[in-house]
Amino acid sequence: MDRNHLLAMLRDMLRARAFEEAAAQSYAQGDIAGFLHLYPGEEAVAVGVLHASEPGDYIVSTYREHVHALVRGIPARALMAELFGKKTGVSSGLGGSMHLFDRERRFLGGYAIVGETFPIALGAAYAVAYRRLPEAVICFFGDGAVNQGTFHESLNMAALWKLPIFFVCENNHYQIGTEIHRHSALTDVYKRACAYGIPAEQVDGMDVLAVHGAAQRALDRVRSGDGPQFLELTTYRYRGHSMADPGTYRPAAELKAYEAADPIAAAIHEFSFQYPSGQLPQDCLQRFTEHCCTAGQVDEAAIARLRQEVQAEMDDARQFAKESPAPSLEDAWAALTRNHRLEILMEGVGA
């Protein structure tokens, strides 16, 4: 991988972390309401996978999708404004944190009902195959989603018709507050794909380079017509399920980490929970930063500059969101009826 690509990935990981921390601050200040599901800890997954994707690919994501959207190229301003419920948001303030959509960037949405990303990806991939295009559909989901019926229904159809879907499981080991060994009979999620004859692999989701390499291989196979591919990425979220979740079900060391000034650094040093590998997961961001430094790609000063730029971008996004206007009820009605176009529903009633 060349230096520019490495730096682009590092930059996106820093942006991802900074965006989510900025969102958390805005939530704490009351600028963001409702549910807010944050991504810190899992950045290597989104960055590794999406840096292996093409602009022609489609992305389907969950309610923890800010970072997928950000790395996909949606401006931080439009994303933050959506979290604030503003008209300038990517979904015009009508979707919110869990429903980010961007047709132009082929971002097919964040879905807030667990297991919905499978059939949406299935349909998008059907349309791609129907038109015989060399595009792929990337379907994100968590370990909790694999116990929904749609997982099995959709994997079956994807394999049956050899649809171009790349299934990406972000296994953070918790479905909301229930740890994987208490919700799944089989804790190696990738093994479930074998039931449908879909090639599957389990990769360390805290290692962005490993994620990127595996995603690249899988996407190559999808694009060459080999049918669906499946990748399980083992990862961890440092925060609770959502901002409303104190995370009391998790080890005390984690809670202590939240209280620390720098939760990430604290988490790295104080984790004591049983990670599947038996070792503490090193923060993916710190790990990748160290890798880049050791390999001589960047130095501490360059990283400090990068952090400053990224922080400025997120400060600007918050400012933009705060100052943006709210959507009106007219905007809401317009969104609901936009698809009518010139269609006449009945005499005397406008289209």
Residues forming contacts to other proteins in the complex (CB under 8 A) are: 58, 60, 89-95, 99, 101-103, 108-109, 111, 113, 116, 118-130, 149-150, 153-154, 156-157, 160, 332, 334-336, 338-341, 343-349
Q: Report in angstroms how near the CB of residue 126 gets to other proteins at its nearest.
A: 5
Report residue 288 as tokens.
């990748």
Considering the complex, state which of residue 93 and residue 227 has its C-beta at the smaller distance from other proteins: 93
Considering the complex, state which of residue 110 and residue 263 has its C-beta at the smaller distance from other proteins: 110
Considering the complex, state which of residue 295 and residue 345 has its C-beta at the smaller distance from other proteins: 345
Q: Report in angstroms how near the CB of residue 154 gets to other proteins at its nearest.
A: 5
Closest CA to 66 of 87, 48, 86, 42: 42
Q: Report in angstroms how near the CB of residue 61 gets to other proteins at its nearest.
A: 13
Closest CA to 199 of 183, 214, 184: 214
Determine the length of the chain. 351
**Which 3 state secondary structure label does DSSP give 220?**
helix
Q: Report in angstroms how near the CB of residue 95 gets to other proteins at its nearest.
A: 4
CB 85, CB 33: distance < 8 Å: yes
Q: Report in angstroms how near the CB of residue 305 gets to other proteins at its nearest.
A: 36
CB 95, CB 42: distance < 8 Å: no
Amino acid at 227: G
Considering the complex, state which of residue 82 and residue 207 has its C-beta at the smaller distance from other proteins: 82
Closest CA to 9 of 269, 240, 291, 258: 291
Considering the complex, state which of residue 185 and residue 349 has its C-beta at the smaller distance from other proteins: 349
Considering the complex, state which of residue 86 and residue 287 has its C-beta at the smaller distance from other proteins: 86
Closest CA to 233 of 210, 201, 205: 205
CA distance 339 to 291: 49
Alpha helices, DSSP H only, in 224-259?
A: 252-259
Q: Report in angstroms how near the CB of residue 325 gets to other proteins at its nearest.
A: 14
Q: Report in angstroms how near the CB of residue 62 gets to other proteins at its nearest.
A: 14
HSE at residue 140, side-chain half, CA atoms within 13 A, is: 27
CA 118 vs CA 156, 220, 318: distances in Å: 11, 20, 32
Q: What count of other Cβ atoms lies within 10 Å of the Cβ of residue 297?
A: 16
Considering the complex, state which of residue 8 and residue 335 has its C-beta at the smaller distance from other proteins: 335
